[in-house]
Copies of this chain bind each other. A is one copy, B any other.
Amino acid sequence: MPHPSSSPIPALDALKRAGLLGTAAQVAVLDYLQRTEHGHFSAEEIHRRIAASGDRMNLSTTYRVLNQLVEAGFVANVSLGKHHSLYELNTGEVHDHLVCVVCGRIEEFSDPTINRRRVAIAKKFGLRFIGKTLALHGVCAACAARAHPPRPRAK
Contact = CB atoms under 8 A, between A and B. Distances in A.
A51 interface: no
Given A79-B79, A133-B80, A134-B133, A109 B121 contact: yes
A133 B101 CA distance: 13
Contact of A121 (B82, B111, B118, B127): B111
Interface in A101-155: 101, 107, 109, 111, 113-114, 117-118, 121-122, 125-141, 144
A15 interface: no
A134 B131 contact: no
Interface of A: 77, 79-82, 85, 98, 100-101, 107, 109, 111, 113-114, 117-118, 121-122, 125-141, 144
Contacts of A133: 80-81, 133-135, 137
Contact of A125 (B81, B82, B98): B98
A114 to B, nearest CB: 5
A111 B124 CA distance: 12
8 contacts: A79-B82, A82-B85, A98-B122, A126-B144, A128-B144, A129-B138, A130-B138, A133-B134
Given A85-B82, A117-B111, A137 B126 contact: no
Given A98-B121, A133-B137, 4 more contacts: A101-B130, A118-B136, A128-B144, A132-B135
